[in-house]
Structure 1
Amino acid sequence: MMQRLGSVFIWIAVVILILGWLPLLAIIRLFDRDLGLYQTGRMFRRLGLAISRVNPSWKISIEGNVKVDDRNPYVIVSNHMSNADIPVISNLPWEMKWVAKKELFDLPIVGWMMKLAGDIPVARGSMREAVKVFQRCKYYLDNNTSVIFFPEGTRSRSGQLTRFASGAFDLAIRENVPILPVVLDGTQGCLPKQSWVFEQDVHVKLKVLDPIPTVGYKKGDSSLLMDKVRTQMAEQLAEWRGVDITEVDYAGHRSR
């Protein structure tokens, strides 16, 4: 009963934050003259940070070098386990444009804020739309703003790393921008599937791995770069969980 009551108060706080953030974000966007919409986007990420902090059950541990220069842009990639990934990653003190499925941009209020912040919608299954996504990513990178991808494309139901798409790695090589891997664990326990009740005492871990320069990689080498990143992510997950790497990165999901 107390867990349900606590979840009600958390959701009320989240709704209040979202409703209050929209006009604030609209005002900032009105005066944001940065070509990468840096200040608008940075304020939107602070909403995710605020949402993560109103939940006393989430214990978030952050490791690695978070003091990177986010105006020296990266193609950031992260594994994906839950809807909680976004507010947790927003604890990082960076601005980065999210590459996200188009359906999210159609949502009232949250979708409006994603548009204001300049995030990048993806319509799956359309080559023409994919070209637009990469053109938009290039625009932000050229204007000193990072972009972030979930290369798995969707949440992992098992907690293992699933198959990666190569798009983020193709982009990094083509634009000669470093890849910055981010690894998450624990967010899969934040909010059980098809439930509105938050789990208690969830420990979420986030680690920023070392940037991987793309100098020396050629067009067509995206699989090599992708496998390197996946291996590093799998090794970190295995270390956290105290298991063999095959327990977190099933061989059948690895790129060919």
Structure 2
Amino acid sequence: MISFLRTIFLFTIAGIVTLVLGTTVIVAALLGVQDKPGGLFEKAPRWWSSAVLWAAGIKVRVHGMENAATGQPHIFASNHVSWFDVPALAKILPRYKFVAKAELFKVPIFGRGMRIIGMIEIQRENRKAAFGAYDVAAEKIRSGSSVIVFPEGTRGHAYPLRPFKKGPFVLAIAAGVPIVPVIVHGTIEIMPKGSFWVQPGTIDVHLLEPVSTTGVDYEHREALMQAVRTRMADAMRDLYGVEPLPIPASRLPSSVEILSSETQPTETR
């Protein structure tokens, strides 16, 4: 009963906040407001996320925020197991754009608002169009925004890391920016994939030490991908005792030595 009431409250607040902020963003765009650091289009998704998390009774604990130091764009590569991964990341990260599935852009008001503030639409079933989305993401990075990606491609039902898609790592090489691996934990307990019921709780977000793309070329994209996945898998194992899912042998890079690191992720609160 408590979960039912909390869920009704959440969707009521989310609907109101989406309507108000979405309309505000749309009107602002019609009036000529531009996307700039610290401006409305940067703050709106953070306000939306804060309201949604509050309505759901969720607290977010951040570990390793120093790894997201401002001053240069990053690519934040996160695991993805719940709808609540998105507001948890949106609340805490500095200037960013999400790479989001195309279906979200079809939602009235919400979708148009996302497009106006610069979120990046990706058609997951169309490989050519998906890589076109990463061209757009590269432009966002060059304009000073970080980009948040989910390299597993979609939400999973459990915490073990699944194999990654290559697109985010091609983007990182093309843009020449560091990749910050991110582990989000606690969201399955709040709202697992396939459920509409929310349970109040705490989300832990771990920002791991960045993986540099300096000197990495396109031929080493798979090695870069594996280096990031290994760092995330090691952190998930050390922090929560969760082992990653195996990668098919055909998808393993021939060598990852150039990108491997013995440095362990740091944690702060």
Task: Please classify the TM superposition score into its range, dividing by the shorter chain length.
Answer: 0.7 to 0.9
Matched, 1:240 2:235: no
2:133 and 2:38 mapped to 1: Cα distance?
A: 17
SS at match of 1:16: helix
1:183 equivalent to 2:178? Answer no
Gaps of 5+ in 2: 253-269
Cα distance between partner residues in 2 of 1:231 and 1:178: 16
Contact in 2 for aligned 1:162/1:253 (Cα 8 Å): no
Counterpart of 1:52, as a letter, is: L
- List per-residue Cα deviations over 1:171-224 (Å, max 9, x = no partner): 111221111121101111212444432124x23210111222211212211111
The alpha-carbon deviation at position 112 of structure 1 amounts to 1.6
State yes or no: 1:215 paired with 2:210: no
Are 1:25 and 1:113, in contact at CA under 8 Å, matched by a contact in 2?
A: yes
Deviation of 1:62 (Å): 0.9
Preserved contact between residue 131 and residue 167 of structure 2 (Cα < 8 Å): no
How many residues align structurally?
250
Q: Partners of 1:227 and 1:38 in 2: how far apart?
A: 36
> What do the CA deviations read for 1:223-255 (whole angstroms, capped 9, x no partner)?
1111111111112212222x2xxx421224684
Q: Distance between the aligned counterparts of 1:10 and 1:189, measured in 2?
A: 16
Instruction: Name 1:134's counterpart in structure 2.
Output: 134
Q: Secondary structure at the match of 2:98?
A: strand
Equivalent-residue separation in structure 2 for 1:33 and 1:104 (angstroms):
22
Aligned partner of 2:48 in structure 1 is: 47
Change (3 A) 1:25 1:214: same
Structure 2: distance between partners of 1:175 and 1:193: 32
- Kindly tell me: are residues 37 and 26 of structure 1, through their superposed partners in 2, closer, same or farther at Cα, counting changes over 3 Å? farther
Rounded to whole Å, the distance in 2 between the matches of 1:234 and 1:124 is: 24
**Structure 1 residues not aligned, in runs of 5+:** none
Q: Which amino acid aligns with 2:18?
A: I
Report if the CA contact (8 A) 1:120-1:136 is conserved. Answer: yes
Q: Check whether the contact 1:74–1:177 (CA below 8 A) recurs between aligned residues.
A: yes
Identity among equivalent positions (%) equals 28
Q: Secondary structure at the match of 1:91?
A: helix
Letter in 2 for 1:209: L
- 1:54-78 CA-partner distances (Å, limit 9, x unpaired): 222x232111025745451112211
